[in-house]
Structure 1
Amino acid sequence: MLHANGMKFGLCMAILVATTACAPKAQLTPSIAGGGPDEFSISPAKALEAPTNFASLPVPTPGGANLTDATPKSDAIVALGGRAPTASGRDGGIVTYASRYGVAPNIRGELSKSDERFLKMKTAKPAFPWTKNKYERAYRRLALDPWAEQARLIALGVLVPSAPPKP
């Protein structure tokens, strides 16, 4: 009787271990992330105060200055531990060069639609659905091998400050 109970317990434990070993990894992928709000669009660094007359408030300008945040981008950089940018205009040349072909005002929406089309085109039902996630299957050919890239850069004489971590 005692031996049979021990066998049942051992069998139950083996089944439990086997089923938990097959559980999917908790991964944060773009398909899980969703289209929620941008975490950095609101940074309450200063106390909010109610105005005396709500009708006199200016029209909201997302990403721009307002009564509470006169310099929202600088305040966000400081809140995240960075240094507030100076108004020297040193990066003006870089910005001008990067935007020489124009700047898309709806780049996030366009990129999201483009990525959705690419995922539909590149992913089919896998034979074994537990092997890779949809996003990884679609972008596998575009992945960069960090060790081969490091060797290539060293061969070109580029100083590489650190090696990529081993998996």
Structure 2
Amino acid sequence: MRLTHGMILVAVLALSACSRPQGELQLRDLRAFGAGPDEFSVLPAKPLEMPADMASLPAPTPGGTNLTDQNPLADGVAALGGRPAALSGQGIAASDAAMVRHVARNGVSSDIRMTLAAEDDAFQRNRSRFTKFRLFRDVDRYHEVYSSEMTDPYAELRRFRRMGVATPSAPPPERR
């Protein structure tokens, strides 16, 4: 009788380890496992202000931005003395036009993002075949799947130094 209970328990644990949400692969597990709130999920709005001219207000767009929405990246650029308007996509900058022409001299694929996304999805599905078996939910599988695609930074550092390229100092490698 004890043996059957143990076998049932092992079978239930094995089946629960195989479960995962359908759809996209979940290589990164970024959920907060603590009991408290996630302090990064709440973004306070800027204070409301009455504009000088009501006609200067943008037309409301569903899912669009609001004047009181926070934009941390633009706020950081402004705080450092930059132009936050430069963050909005305005095409290729004049300073980069020559480089873009050189890179595109042999042709440019208009659907490169979709092609790369499909290839990456196939790569993830192929490499993460056995990462579905999880005993613990908070394990990050990203590095396990992409380990063959990563470069060794210290090997690259040694290679560049042998070639005579001036390289900055690097922290000592972590001991595992």
Give the alignment's TM-score, normalised by structure 1.
0.44
Give the alignment's TM-score, normalised by structure 2.
0.43
Higher relative contact order (CA 8 A, sep 6+): 2
